[in-house]
């Protein structure tokens, strides 16, 4: 015997129906948002929750019932994925501080094999000192991004290895090349 419907879908306004139809056909939205729009349209057409789930290859009508209840409360906003969805952070405050301390440390060319931190080299250095694996979330939560500051060294200065050892090479046209 099927479960009784607790909260049926409310009547859609003309504007909501048009927006849902556009969202169901749109290719720029995420697949999840498109599927949710299709499900709401199927249920609004008179199908039960199980049929709405099957229309978008979902397994149960229970999730559709939750979506319908949320749609009744929030409207079209219910189709969007809520921020903060996903696994919660599992690092302690001490572990976060260890990663940030390693980030602030200037890398040693001999020990770390680099003059500037990349995400990979920083991750390797953190793994040597701690048991932590993924550090990008910790750095992002601390306000650091890799896109804006990919290198943390002086532009135009490089250290080259040659037959006679290492030497510092300075590019005199650095400022001209920047602009």
> What does the H/E/C string look like for the chain?
CCCCCCCCCCCCCHHHHHHHHHHHHCCCCCHHHHHHHHHHHHHHCCCCHHHHHHHCCCCCHHHHHHHHHHHHHHHHHHHCCCCCCCCCCCCCHHHHHHHHHHHHCCCCHHHHCCCCCCHHHHHHHHHHHCCCCCCHHHHHHCCCCCCCCCCCCCCCEEEEEECCEEEEEECCCHHHHHC
Alpha-carbon Rg for the chain in angstroms: 27
Rounded Cα distance between 161 and 146, Å, is 27
What pLDDT is attached to residue 3? 59
* pLDDT tens digits, one per residue of 91-104: 788 888 888 888 88
CB 7 within 8 A of CB 69: yes
* pLDDT tens digits, one per residue of 39-93: 999 999 999 999 999 998 888 889 899 999 999 999 999 998 877 766 666 778 8
* pLDDT tens digits, one per residue of 100-141: 888 888 888 888 888 777 778 888 888 887 777 677 778 777
pTM of the model: 0.49
């Amino acid at each position: 015997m099927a479960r009784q419907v607790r909260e049926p879908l409310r009547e859609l306004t003309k504007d909501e129906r048009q927006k849902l139809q556009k969202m169901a056909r749109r290719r720029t939205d995420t697949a999840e948002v498109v599927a949710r729009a299709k499900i709401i349209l199927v249920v609004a057409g008179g199908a039960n929750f199980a049929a709405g789930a099957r229309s978008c290859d979902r397994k149960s009508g229970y999730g559709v019932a939750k979506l319908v209840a949320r749609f009744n409360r929030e409207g079209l906003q219910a189709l969007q994925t809520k921020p903060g969805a996903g696994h919660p952070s599992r690092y302690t405050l001490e572990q976060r501080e260890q990663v940030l301390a390693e980030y602030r440390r200037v890398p040693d060319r001999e020990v770390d094999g680099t003059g500037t931190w990349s995400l990979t080299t920083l991750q390797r250095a953190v793994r040597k000192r701690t048991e932590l694996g993924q550090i990008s979330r910790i750095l992002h939560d601390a306000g650091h991004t890799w896109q804006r500051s990919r290198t943390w060294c002086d532009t135009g200065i490089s250290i080259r290895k040659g037959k006679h050892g290492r030497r510092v090479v300075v590019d005199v046209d650095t400022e001209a090349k920047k602009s």
